[in-house]
Amino acid sequence: MLSTRTRFHTVKTCCLLALAAWATQVRADLPLSGPQWDISGFYSLSALHTSQSGPLYLYAPYGDQDQPADQQHWDLWPDSKLGLMGEVRISPQWSARAQFLYRQGSSRENDFKTRLAFVEYQPLHDWSVRLGRTVQGLLLNEESMYTDYAHLPIRAPQEPYAYLPDTEIDGIQLFHRRPLHNWQLQLQASYGQRTYYSQQFQRQLRDSFGMSATLQDANTSLHLAARSLMLGLHDAGSFALATRLIRTVANSQGRNDVAADYDESAIRLKEVAAALEHQSGPLTLQGELVLFYSSLSMSGQPIAAAHLLGGYRLGAFTPYLGWGEIRDYSVSEETRLTPDSPTAVAAIATANYLTAAVSGEQRTWSLGLRYDIARNTALKLQLDRVERKADKQGWFIAPPDSLQFAPDHANHTYVWGLSLQGMF
């Protein structure tokens, strides 16, 4: 017998598939006047496996970092997904949009996610306001990172995308578009909050304010963005117990400033990003850089992540090469506390251990081949070599809270991926 929850998710899955099949019929039957409807979607059927096993070499796709899986055999679930987008335009000024995502990820649990759900009002042709759930768009492809078909690689690059906290917020978003000679300038500002759930944490995004500027022409896009938010963690298990020990000792020594540095329930994050994309004929180039600043001293000041991607189309085939790297600049030892008791000694050791555990330095080389089988359908083959610095945490091939460090040798893994992707 299926459980009530399983039956519920099965029904939702069937509804998604039915709506997807109905999408083209909806377009064909649209009236020429009145509300204008549009339904579209995307899918990725992906298989992968890694070359190493054990807690140091676990694969974690974007959106599933808290419970990665150990793929020693070809596995269909971590990167496979199904998405559906619905849009209705009531008048030239008013419209609404919603995007739903279904995936299982490494956890093997049915996950239905509402990526977008907003009403848009456009009082002028170059101004618009969105109310509801939106994506702040810190990075170049952040809003469409789950639409894998639209990009060269199988998945969004781990550096820097996997290091972003959830960037969907419930609030208000303001757009302004302005032509500049042969260029188009788009300005965006957004504010909102969100409580969401991962595999191990309940997280709360509070007072999230972001702004971005995108300058583009037919071939080139330049993107600059910044964001500031409060990130609260709840039900954090051993991590919360460890930071509580440090705060207790710090307060007893009159170091309230140190205690504040280890308050994981109210972390202030600041992020700055820049990206450049150029497409000219068969050539595609893309580069992204993002800096993370945190009020947690143990998390590094700052963390820097960069990604480069290049591809060249040859008929229906497009070979591509990618490189990504993340580095942190955290203080290696906690020297502000005095080891005047066994409890204080334990707190200092815990602080040093956490600093090493939450930091991460890794590098990824990607080699792939995209084959456009038909219109809106592509087959991709990709090989990633993921390596990390010895004695450092690497979040791509180890869980963020596993407190596992890279060995001096064999500190890399290979990830093979094969994916059929499309849009409808």
Question: pLDDT tens-digit profile of 277-304?
Answer: 999 999 999 999 999 888 776 665 688 9
413 strand-pairing partners: 386
From residue 68, give the alpha-carbon distance in Å to each of 43, 76, 199, 356: 21, 14, 10, 20
Do residues 304 and 326 touch, judged by C-beta distance below 8 A?
yes
| CA dihedral (310, 381, 156, 23) positive or negative | positive
Mean of pLDDT values over 356-380: 88
Query: Rounded to whole angstroms, how far apart are CA atoms 276 and 214?
Result: 10
Please tell me the predicted confidence (pLDDT) of residue 162: 74
Q: In this structure, what are the phi and psi dihedrals at residue 343, rounded to the nearest 5 degrees?
A: -65, -40
Confidence of residue 417 (pLDDT cuts 50, 70, 90): very high
Please tell me the predicted confidence (pLDDT) of residue 86: 95
| Tokens at 175, concatenated | 């757009």
From residue 223, give the alpha-carbon distance in Å to each of 129, 139, 306, 395, 419: 20, 8, 14, 26, 29
Per the model's pLDDT, the better-predicted residue between 234 and 386 turns out to be: 386
DSSP 8-state secondary structure symbol assigned to residue 267: E
Question: What H or E segment, with its residue span, contains residue 410?
Answer: none
197 strand-pairing partners: 202
Question: Domain coordinates of the chain in residue numbers?
Answer: 46-81+112-423
pTM: 0.82
395 strand-pairing partners: none
Fold classified for 46-81+112-423: Porin (2.40.160)
Per the model's pLDDT, the better-predicted residue between 260 and 212 turns out to be: 212
Q: Can you tell me which residue has the tokens 């963390």?
A: 303
Confidence of residue 13 (pLDDT cuts 50, 70, 90): very low
Query: Rounded to whole angstroms, how far apart are CA atoms 216 and 220?
Result: 5
Query: Rounded to whole angstroms, how far apart are CA atoms 361 and 388?
Result: 6
For residue 409, pLDDT beyond 70: no
The most distant pair of C-alpha atoms in the chain lies apart, rounded to whole Å, by 79
Confidence of residue 108 (pLDDT cuts 50, 70, 90): confident
